[in-house]
Chain A
Amino acid sequence: MSNYSYIVWIPLLPLAIFLVLGIFGKKYFKNTSGIIGTLALLASTVISFIAAHQYFFVDGKVNGVYQKIIAFKYTWLAFSPNVSIDMGIIIDPISIMMLVVVTFVSLMVHVFSLGYMKGEVRFATYYAFLSLFTFSMLGLVLSSNLFQVYMFWELVGVSSFLLIGYYFDKPSAVAASKKAFIVTRFADLGFLIGILILAFYSGTLDINTLIERLTAVQSTHFTSIATAGFLGVSMLTWGLTLIFIGGAGKSAMFPLHIWLPDAMEGPTPVSALIHAATMVVAGVYLVARLFPVFSMDASVLTIVTYVGAFSALLAAVIACTQTDIKRVLAYSTMSQIGYMMFALGVSKQVGENGLGFMASMFHLFTHAFFKSLLFLGAGAVIHFVHSNEMKDMGGLRKLMPITHIAFLIACLAIAGIPPFAGFFSKEEILMAAFHSNKIIYGVALFTAALTAFYMFRLYFSIFWSKESHHHNSHGEGTVSMKLPLIILACCAVGVGFIPFSHFVTADGSALETHTDMLFSIAPVTLTILAILLAAAMYKNENDKPAKAAAAFGALYKAASRKFYMDELYLFITKKIIFPLIGRPVAWVDKNIVDGLMNLLATITAKMSVLIKGLQSGKVQSYALYFFGGIAALAVLFIYLWK
């Protein structure tokens, strides 16, 4: 086994940049901070590519199975000889895959931001936050200890909060950042409890040991967690469900998805990095990381499947009605993550049945490229027209040729048209769903068609539709904005051809996949029909969209209002939680908890008034008390103490 300890530099470089730019950025690197951050991240990216090459092609494989390697381990906090919080680095196919995705997309976003964020007052702060986020995300994917995962999970949440609220003088951005933080924090509570349950029964926080102990059916640990129950459900199910709630919060699964669309208040490159390619797939990654344990409990996998499928469908329906292009992309992200989730849900741990796992990871991989491309393309468009609304756009294809082509490629990729990247991964997911659950397959197929429809609605509304009234005053954008678009477009075309199943599978051994031409006919035909429909409705300006909206009536209205989820949450919090729980708790706090403290203080004050007369300032009376005391003690000890 060779040495992988150099991997520790991949997260440490962004951390160093965060510290340098965060502390000295405003003073010394006002204009150069972007270059510094980008160069450091370039180094990280190169190292992670080297690591990926070494792992996948040189020495990661032993007897045809990719090994889990602990590259670095440091016991940070030991509670007892068995339970400790370690800072470690785990290397296995999914962590290496995520390493490549995170560093690469982050690099693209860093480069894009050089142009997009140029002239911002808090330029250095922006890059410091980006570096912090990259560090946390890399730490998260490399964590070898569940508690370490949790810490980086929170760090990721904080950096997401900071970046969403980057334009802190905009009240909507502030509200959005708070919302994202509170909703994900709420879900993280479930995650923490889940971790504690698993750790309590398995007696360890180390991921590998935990998986080992909880997957051995005969072991005492597994018996204890599977037999112990609460409310008639075994502790294993509870623990895994709670962990899944944490993952669902970060990954914007129904019903914890409400923060994601609002998170689009952040700068667009940030949305591309955090809310499309990396952070929001953390939930998927978490489930994949603990997948051997998840696969021990069919009921949790069923929950994962149905939550994922429902989120995918719901988000796709909502995405068809939104007019803010970033919100369309946000819902599309949620929908695609739903795909990844239910692909995991229908998967099994070993062999052929592990197709869903592999498909999920593959989709995560391809999605990262084409979705960040979509966001960066949207960023370029927003940069050009200074608006997020579809109605302000249209006919941009001549003014922004490169963005236009890149965006088209990304749309084709996400719609799943061969030979673009999304086709391959989506095909695997559909295949996995088809073989295990026909209902899920139906939902997935319908969602795929919807995806194609709303993506091309977006595409045609931005680049075709009415004639542009914009003047080509400041061009399409700087080179640093075009370059990432071109590179990512190449990726969106190319990454689908990677024989992914040879590298990343549930059990580490290669899996043969066969693309079945006959199987592909249904989804591809549906997708093409959806695209044609979108073209008919949105290619030229006409009244068909309005008619369609009227035809769907209530459904359209509900979907455009996001099915009243926000209103529902507001109702629950304002009308139920605040008056029934918040106020009584506040009353108890004010009157009983504070009251007790006030009572103690009052008693002390009264006592001091009573006895302060003794403190007369007269030396001789003090001496008298002293002698009196001594005499009393003498009497006590000589005559009374028998």
Chain B
Amino acid sequence: MNGIPLTHIIFLSTALFFIGMYGLFTRRNMITMLMAIELMLNSVNINFVAFNKYLYPDKLDGIFFTLFIITIAAAEAAVAIAIIINLYRSHRSIDVEDATEMKF
């Protein structure tokens, strides 16, 4: 390959994953949380593509997975945004701290 070792790419994807995770735990705004989740998904995508490329260059399985994940992520975003809109309608807020009725 052209000089970028696999470790670098894995560093990138791991960094991306934990940035997403940090965002998911710290943000209270649901839209931001959704974006954080998208970050995590994309880090997984990078992993798939990278491993496919470096380990099994003559196969396409990892790429297929990536395509599926992108599709599902789009659908998931639609559902999530629908949930957020409904939450906004009922609570007048999209802050997760304001929607904690579902407890013991």
Residues of A in contact with B (beta carbons under 8 Å apart) = 612-613, 615-620, 623-624, 627
Contact = CB atoms under 8 A, between A and B. Distances in A.
B104 A618 contact: no
Nearest to A620: B25
B58 interface: no
Contacts of A617: 99-103
Contacts of B33: 620
B96 A620 contact: yes
Size bin of chain B's contact surface: 10 to 19
Interface in B75-104: 96-97, 99-104
B96 A618 contact: yes
B103 A623 contact: no
Nearest to A616: B103
6 contacts: A615-B104, A616-B100, A618-B100, A619-B96, A620-B25, A627-B21
Contact of B24 (A612, A618, A620): A620
Nearest to A611: B104
Of B21, B33, B99, B104, most A-chain CB atoms within 10 Å:
B104
A625 B102 CA distance: 17
Contacts of A613: 104
Given A612-B104, A615-B103, A623-B24, 4 more contacts: A616-B103, A617-B100, A619-B96, A619-B99
Contacts of B103: 615-617
A605 to B, nearest CB: 13
A623 B23 CA distance: 12
Contacts, number: 24
A618 B104 CA distance: 11
A614 to B, nearest CB: 9
Contact of B97 (A615, A618, A624, A627): A618
Contacts of A624: 25
Interface in B43-80: none
B11 to A, nearest CB: 18
Contacts of A616: 100, 103
Interface in B11-56: 21, 24-25, 33
A-B CB proximity, top 6 nearest: A617-B103, A617-B100, A612-B104, A615-B104, A617-B102, A619-B96
Contacts of A615: 103-104
A613 B101 CA distance: 13
A609 to B, nearest CB: 9
Contacts of A619: 96, 99
A617 B97 CA distance: 9
Contacts of A627: 21
Nearest to B26: A620
Contacts of B100: 616-618
Of A612, A613, A615, A620, most B-chain CB atoms within 10 Å:
A620
Nearest to B30: A619
Contacts of B97: 618
Contacts of A612: 104
Contacts of A623: 24-25
A619 B99 CA distance: 9
B22 to A, nearest CB: 11
Nearest to A624: B25
A89 to B, nearest CB: 64
Of A612, A616, A617, most B-chain CB atoms within 10 Å:
A617
Contacts of B104: 612-613, 615
A613 B99 CA distance: 17
A618 B102 CA distance: 8
Nearest to A619: B96
Nearest to B102: A617
A301 B102 CA distance: 75
B83 to A, nearest CB: 11
A615 to B, nearest CB: 5
Nearest to A621: B25
Nearest to B100: A617
Nearest to A608: B104
A142 to B, nearest CB: 63
Contacts of B102: 617
A200 B20 CA distance: 72
Contacts of B21: 627
A619 B25 CA distance: 9
